[in-house]
Amino acid sequence: MAAARFIIPFLALVFGLALGIKLPQNPDENPEPLKWWQQEIIYQVYPRSHQDSDGDGVGDLAGIQSRLDHFDELGVGAVWISPIYKSPMKDFGYDISNFTDIEPQFGTLESFKNLSSALKERNIKLIMDFVPNHSSDEHPWFNMSINREGIYDDFYVWKDPKGINSTTGEPIPPNNWMSVFGGSAWTFNEQRQQFYLHQFVAGQPDLNYENPEVTKAILAAVKFWLDMGVDGFRVDAVPHLFENQTFADEPVDPNRPPTALPTDWAYYQHIYTYNLPGVFDFLARFRELLDIYTWADGIERVMFVEAGVPTLDLLMEYYGTPERPIAHFPFNFEFINRVKSGFNGTNIGDVVDEWFTKMPEGQWANWLVGNHDNGRVGSRFSPSAGIVDAFNALVLLLPGNAVTYYGEEIGMQNANISWEDTVDPAGCQVGPDRYQQFSRDPERTPMHWNDDQNAGFSTANKTWLPMHPDYPEVNVEAQKNSTENSHLKVYQLLSALRQTDVWRYGSLESQAPENGSLFGFSRIYNGKGFICLFNFVDEIQTINVPQVFENIPQNATVYSTSVGFQPETAVGTTIGTDNVVIGARHSIILEF
Ligand code: NOJ
Ligand code: MG
């Protein structure tokens, strides 16, 4: 209607066939109530960057506790906190020197208990990030292993040198295995006169899962946190847990990226160090331990695993089977891996379709567009503001878990970090010429709360990473108080829709036209529904919705639009569904 005032180049869109999506549930049957972990938005907190309470420029647990209102305002029901265990911070917490204590920079076990009970009071679940593959080289276990003390002798993966380099006199590593961060995965230990394996930095020696004592020690740590009342775990880097015991060289990958060097991890096919069958045996035991706690009180303890395996078929194995459940879900990185700059609606449609086609019967999907290891969604694509809202809508409204990385709700962007300010080992390790290709610092800068000094994150003169300079405009307070639409306001509307039966139990129909310009999906339950329409190209698009989607009424109410939506369309107005106009790179949600 409002659209009629505009002269629009009408594109005759030929929509592809319905993407053949399986319904998450048959909406005609009595749906089963969702479990807490299926329903709640999971918000990833990067503790160094959330809120600093003591002015040292690094976020901490008391800081997180002081910002709980934000979770309630977003409708977040679960927080996943990146590692907060004692750590020398060689990989910013993913190098743990005590699995059952808190890093002093973050607080104490006491501050952990305070945070945990404050979250419980608000009915927000707490998910710990657990790192079973390696410890820190400063863990007492490693020291005892160097000294070959009792059961610790082979707690880590030790190997003799292959020989001695005749020119340098240096010991030669046992094989060609590379660290994920570049360079040999082996470091020589003078004292023990052997190499130890580290698939990440040298300060992260790999635990030896061939030794059953290691599994016991690690599961004892898991139990410690379960007894502290946590609701579950995000389990780090699980495909790295086991190594083939022949310790043979890995072959060069014929499909390696053209920029990969022989010292890069991406140069090889990781047939001896990645995704070996033992991984599933270990995770099944981990899951069994969680299930024991679930059985005791009926509240599900959950396991979400990080497994960056090369195909969706391999990833789906991480769900396990009804006889041997593994993860509640493996993280779905498809929007990151397969939706690249220059993407179109068909790419999005393929990701959605393939996930539902390949996911085993009875399992639950999950969606995310960023984390602490990947560039922020707002920066990966065009700077257009609408993209942020579109991706938040995909993540929050498709059937399944929604995982939000801090700052996505306000459209935070990657920061430009100079070589001098670079601290991430993935960047430091490759040097000043290539650090920008590998460093994860740009997506880890502190959260923007307001336009005060350091965006209200810290009173320190210098924060651990520089602040993104756009914080005076892009921050929680500004977006909350703005008289205009904002990413935060859109996010709140999306979050509210998750509380409806349409979101919980609704059917899913998804469509992408053959020309790739659009993507859309509808959710319908008991005659009520909503439809999300995304325009991913630079031209205005007009859609006759009932011609493309099934069961769409003639009129619908505008529920939400992306920030700066064109042509101007007020939320709450009723429009004809046969002529929905969407400006370049914008999105709209209609309710009926
Ligand atoms: C995956 C984590 O997400 C990443 O941040 C970390 O560097 C590695 N695992 C090693 O623990
Ligand atoms: Mg601090």
Domain ranges of the chain: 35-134+213-259+269-481
- pLDDT tens figures, 219-263: 999 999 999 999 999 999 999 999 999 999 999 999 999 999 999
Active site residue 160: no
Amino acid (one-letter) located at 435? Y
Sort strands 302-305 and 580-582 into parallel, antiparallel or unpaired: unpaired
What CA–CA distance (Å, rounded) separates 418 from 398?
Answer: 38
pLDDT confidence of residue 7: 32
In a mutational test of the pocket of ligand 1, which residue from 91, 133, 438 has the highest number of ligand atoms less than 8 Å from its CB? 91
Q: Which of 41, 73, 28 is nearest to 449 (CA)?
A: 73
Rounded to an integer, the average pLDDT of 79-98 is 98
Architecture of domain 35-134+213-259+269-481: Alpha-Beta Barrel (3.20)
Q: Given pLDDT bands bounded at 50, 70 and 90, which one contains residue 19? A: very low
| Residue 364 Cα to ligand 2 middle (Å) | 37
Name the burial class of residue 219, with classes exposed (0-12), middle (13-18) and buried (19+) by CB atoms within 10 angstroms of its CB: middle
Average predicted confidence (pLDDT) for the chain: 94
How confident is the model over 26-51, as pLDDT tens digits?
Answer: 555 677 889 999 999 999 999 999 99
Among protein residues, the one whose CA lies closest to atom 2 of ligand 1: 236
Q: Pocket around ligand 1: residues whose beta carbon is below 6 Å from it?
A: 91, 94, 131, 200, 236-237, 306, 372-373
236 belongs to the catalytic site: yes
Given pLDDT bands bounded at 50, 70 and 90, which one contains residue 341?
A: confident
Which ligand lies nearest to the CA atom of residue 56 in the structure? Answer: 2
Which residues partner with 541 through β-bridges? 582
Catalytic one of 40, 250, 264, 306? 306
Assign 350 a pLDDT band (cuts: 50, 70, 90): very high
The number of the ligand 1 atom at minimal distance from the alpha carbon of 371 is 3
CB burial class (10 A; 0-12, 13-18, 19+) of residue 160? exposed
In this prediction, residue 26 carries a pLDDT of 56
Minimal-distance CA residue to ligand 1 atom 4: 373
Q: Please, is 7 exposed, middle or buried when counting C-beta atoms within 10 Å of its C-beta (0-12, 13-18, 19+)?
A: exposed
Query: Does 551 or 26 have the greater pLDDT score?
Result: 551
Reported as a single tens digit per residue, the pLDDT across 358-388 is 999 999 999 999 999 999 998 998 767 789 9
Could you tell me the CA-to-CA distances from 458 to 64, 123, 238, 449, 476 in Å, in that order?
A: 12, 27, 34, 10, 15
CA of 168 to the centre of ligand 1 (A): 33
Specify the higher pLDDT residue, 516 or 42: 42
